[in-house]
Each structure stands twice: as C-alpha cells, then as structure tokens.
Structure 1
C-alpha cells in the first residue's frame, strides 16, 4: 500500500497504522471548553510559526474556506472566485447557505487550472 500525503482534498490521504496509533495515544479534551491539549498546542504552534496572536484548528479545507469567507464578508455581500475553483464547484454552496454570501465567478485563464 502506498502511504503518501496528498493535500489536494481532505479525504485523499488515508492514515497509516502509525498515524492511527498516534491519534489513539493523543491527549484529548473538550475543544469547546478550550481544554484539548493537543489542539491547543497545535494552534499555539501554528500561531507562533505564522506570527499571529492566535490560530484556529478546523477539521477540513471546506470548513477553513468557509471560516475565511465569513471573516471577510457580511451577509448580502459577494466574493470573487474562479469559475473552476474547488470552493465554487465542490463545497456545496456553504457560503451562500450559511453566510448569505454570493459567489461571483470569473473565468480562469486558459493556462490555469
């Protein structure tokens, strides 16, 4: 079995036995109450690496894209997006449904996917 990391989608990379074992051994807590030490350590480390005061762990790229759109846009606004982009074609319209934000798709250049 080929075990490589492919970040093109949230579900492409399958965890190896070692990854599953590490998850089973991880210290856990309730992230809603801010007491999950693994998530807190990850967020603190990423914030430090990127030079931000804080970071937020989300479980998928779709969720992170939605967080970004909701941070930058208000209800009734629109966002400019590539007509062939993943966020426009494969994320189920979450920005419109959950945020009231309308996509404004633009064509991609012919030499760009």
Structure 2
C-alpha cells in the first residue's frame, strides 16, 4: 500500500488506521486537553532545544504566524522573487 502524503484527502485509511483513530485519546487542544497534540509539541520543542512548541495545521499557517510575529499592521515585507509565500499563499498576509 502506498501512502500519499500530499494531503489528508488522498490516502484511503486502512482498517488498521481506522482502528487506531477510533482508539486514539482525544481532547480539546484549545484548552490543552489533547494529549496527542501536547506530546507532539513537547517532542518538537525538545528536538529543537526550545522551551515550548506550537502545532499548526499547515505550512501556510506557520508562515503567517512567522510574519505576524515580526510585523505590525501596515508594515511591508520584502520577499525574494521566487518565495513560496508570495506565489502560493497570496503573499501570506
């Protein structure tokens, strides 16, 4: 079986995957109650030597958070002419 990682919509889950999803611990990540997300953020932070990690659902969201961290409303940013954020994320802002 091939697992296509381009999107969460292109690989059909196997029965084993469905069982794993049904048995997974769940919780609300907004309130810090999703143990899977908490563990992922902790492992990511440890791997990068940081005090905390933040899981985001897409590269687009991560790029936008990065821009918003360093820019204020009305600021402009300079991008390299082939920058992914410009061509594929509507300039990311």
Could you state the TM-score of these two structures normalised by the residue count of structure 2? 0.78
Q: Secondary structure at the match of 1:68?
A: helix
Q: How many corresponding residue pairs?
A: 91
Report which stretch shifted further, 72-81 or 29-38. Answer: 72-81
CA distance in 2, matches of 1:2, 1:77: 45
Partner of 1:25: 23
Partner of 1:74: 72
Segments of 5+ residues of structure 2 without an aligned counterpart are: none
Partner of 1:2: 2
Q: 1:83 to 1:20 in 2, by over 3 A?
A: farther
The Cα of 1:76 is off from its aligned counterpart by: 1.9
Q: How does 1:19-98 map to 2 (within 5 A)?
A: 19-95=17-93
* RMSD of Structure 2 on Structure 1 (CA): 2.4
Segments of 5+ residues of structure 1 without an aligned counterpart are: 96-113
